[in-house]
Amino acid sequence: MCSWGYNRDREDIQMERGQSYRAVKMIENMGTYWCSIFVVAPGYPNITGSTLTVEGNSVTLTCTSSGGNPVPTVYWYRNNQLVDDTQTTTNGVTTNTYTLVADKSHNLAVFECQVDNSVLQNTLSTTWYLQVYTVPNQPTLNGSQTLLPGTTYQWTCISTGGNPSPAMTLRVGNSQFSTGITQTSVLKSDKTYTVTSTLSWAPSISNNGQTLYCDVKHPETRGNNLQTVSLQLIVNAAPSYIRIVPAGVVVNEGQGFTLTCEADGYPAPTYNWYHNDVMIHEGAILTISNSLWTEHDGLILCKATSTKGSRQTWEDVDVQHIPVSTVTQTSISQTVGSPVRLSCDTRANPSATAWQWFYNGNSLSSTSKVLVVVMNSASEAGAYTCRAINGIGTSSDITFNVDIVSGTGSGPDAAIVVEDSSRLSTGEIVAIILAILFVLLLCLVVCCCCKGYCASLCGGKKKQVTPQVEHKRVEIPVYNEEPDESVIYRHKIEIPKFYENPEPSVRKTRFKKYGVYRRHSVEFEISKSKVLKLEDIKQIELARDNAYITPTGTRQQYYLPDIEYTYDEAEERRRRRRRRRKKNKRDQDEQMRDHKLNEPDSNIIVCKRAPAILAPESQLTSTP
């Protein structure tokens, strides 16, 4: 490219830049002509194309550069290696188009477009990154197919070659596992991922025949289309449950019914049907077209058996039927004047509710189960027939042939005595007697458990009572003038014996003013007693408070054996004075009470001693 110009009359005239001057024009304008050439750098390269694709798809990358004088070169490089150097220039724009089929090697590879001409000191370049998604390979599922219920097994599902990392799930049927799964994802050197899922699971018998699935989801390359691999599970086990359907079968005799036995377990069990311990059918379905109460009423058992074990169940079939005679004696011979008792005994389901009686074909008025005929004459002999009726129908005729030895009478109707069926039967009477005996036994047990009051009835021993020896009279000495008389009320109180401590006494240290003494308990008994009143109880409580307190602060009681204490004469005198005051007060109270009595009491015993208040052992006090 150049700029043209000419000289005319020694003046330079600038032509338009880039205009070609024709030879014809040059002849008409004589002069000097010249051409100037201009050098221009190319424009910065611009890349267009896809940045994301799937392995196997075609990808086109276009690099363009505008301008440039001389015309620039536009080249494609991948990872610094020239891959395309073809270009075209149109209207001053230079273009290089690079087309490739994407594979794993193109994932995240660096594509570079370089532009250069003689004007540039350094080439102009632009980079381009392409991400290639790779479809995962078909997954594999490894693990056991023949299983035992309750045993934990492991299955492994592996997916390789996927980019990005695929999602993997495991399921049985339509139930997806949420626990017992460990999963890892590892990026390989070819920039693809290997995903491994391990399932730990203990199947049950209900999983027999189900399918374990491993699903791989890769929406980047497959959309919603899953890659799935599966294993058929076989759980070998004895039947864990068994049932018979329908339940509660009730049919009339002569009708049909069908029972189906259902059980689990693998291998599939075989079925056998039993009635009264006799096998009546083989197979899962029992069909009876004509039921008989003698053959089909009651429990029908189904037993499911496999190589791993067996299981059984039963169903109660209720076959209802008309009354059937159970009479064992139909011929009866009786003497004149001896009544004949005829019972229309039948077996029926449901039970018979009504009866009909006939004499020599003629209907009788009795509707009870039992008919009593007073055989007054020979004319009352003959054939007595009964029929039992229930909700299903009427029994066949049950005939009693009654013969009489001798006698006369006035006809059968006058001799009929209907036994009231409402009276208690023998079984009911026995049940009532047993109930009464049970109640008596229960009362006896309760009685024996209540504080031993009935121990002798229960065969146990009564509580042993320690025999008491004859009580002795105890006279407590007093230290004041004794009253003329005092009274002791009769009230027998058992006071235990007190014995001398056989252990040797240990002499304690004497003090300056106090002496150490040991008082030995004396065996004594009281033979007189009285009935205590409220005032006497108060006196007992007062006596309890009069326990002896030693100078060292020790509280001593009368009944304590082998007591050690210390005292001096002054303390002893004070103690005696207190005792006398209390005793005199008690005596005055008793004398005032005696004066109020109009007549002497036969229970009063005159004694020349101070009154002694009798009390239980726990209420006695000790005075040294």
Residue 497 lies in a domain: yes
Banded pLDDT at 346 (limits 50, 70, 90): very high
Q: Which residues contact 525 (CB under 8 A, 6 or more apart)?
A: 469, 470, 471, 472, 473, 474, 495, 497
* Closest among 260, 258, 247 to 302, alpha carbons compared: 260
Is cis: bond before 267, omega within 30 of 0? yes
Around Cβ 565, how many Cβ atoms within 10 Å?
A: 19
To the nearest 10 degrees (0 to 180), the angle between helices 569-595 and 534-545 is 180
Same domain, yes or no: 491 and 613: yes
Same domain, yes or no: 368 and 341: yes
Backbone angles phi, psi at 259, to 5 degrees: -120, 140
Q: Look at residue 214 in the predicted model and tell me its pLDDT.
A: 96
Banded pLDDT at 37 (limits 50, 70, 90): low
Q: Which residues contact 578 (CB under 8 A, 6 or more apart)?
A: none
CB 254 within 8 A of CB 294: no
CA atoms of 94 and 48, how far apart (whole Å): 14
End-of-domain residue from the set 270, 287, 321: 321
Same domain, yes or no: 516 and 605: yes
CA atoms of 217 and 164, how far apart (whole Å): 11
**Widest CA span of the chain, in angstroms?**
195
Residue 459 lies in a domain: no
End-of-domain residue from the set 398, 422, 446: 422
Banded pLDDT at 404 (limits 50, 70, 90): confident
Residue 81 lies in a domain: yes
Residue 467 lies in a domain: no
* Closest among 367, 388, 375 to 321, alpha carbons compared: 388
End-of-domain residue from the set 321, 343, 369: 321
Q: Look at residue 309 in the predicted model and tell me its pLDDT.
A: 87
Same domain, yes or no: 524 and 598: yes
Residue 359 belongs to what H/E stretch?
strand 354-359
Residue 436 lies in a domain: no
Banded pLDDT at 431 (limits 50, 70, 90): confident
pTM: 0.41
Residue 226 lies in a domain: yes
Characterise 426 by phi-psi region: left (phi > 0), alpha (psi -120 to 50), beta (else).
alpha
Q: Look at residue 93 in the predicted model and tell me its pLDDT.
A: 92
CA terminus-to-terminus distance, the chain:
154
CB 328 within 8 A of CB 343: no
Same domain, yes or no: 153 and 118: no
Same domain, yes or no: 179 and 223: yes
Residue 461 lies in a domain: no
Q: Look at residue 456 in the predicted model and tell me its pLDDT.
A: 52
Residue 479 lies in a domain: no
The whole-number average pLDDT for the span 224-237 is: 91
Same domain, yes or no: 174 and 229: yes
Number of structural domains (the chain) is 6
Q: What is the CATH number of the domain that holds 315?
A: 2.60.40.10
Structure token pair of residue 561: 């054996």
CA atoms of 191 and 271, how far apart (whole Å): 60
Per-residue pLDDT reduced to its tens digit, 196-218: 999 999 998 888 889 999 999 99
CA atoms of 390 and 350, how far apart (whole Å): 6
Same domain, yes or no: 530 and 608: yes
Count, residues in the chain: 624
517: which strand partners? 565
The whole-number average pLDDT for the span 221-250 is: 90
**Domain housing 77:** 46-133
Same domain, yes or no: 615 and 492: yes
Q: Look at residue 563 in the predicted model and tell me its pLDDT.
A: 44
CB 448 within 8 A of CB 454: yes
Per-residue pLDDT reduced to its tens digit, 293-309: 888 999 999 999 988 88
Per-residue pLDDT reduced to its tens digit, 434-479: 899 989 888 888 777 765 555 455 555 444 444 544 544 444 444 4
Same domain, yes or no: 280 and 167: no
Same domain, yes or no: 316 and 352: no
Q: Look at residue 546 in the predicted model and tell me its pLDDT.
A: 57
Q: What percent of the chain has pLDDT over 90?
A: 40
Same domain, yes or no: 514 and 612: yes
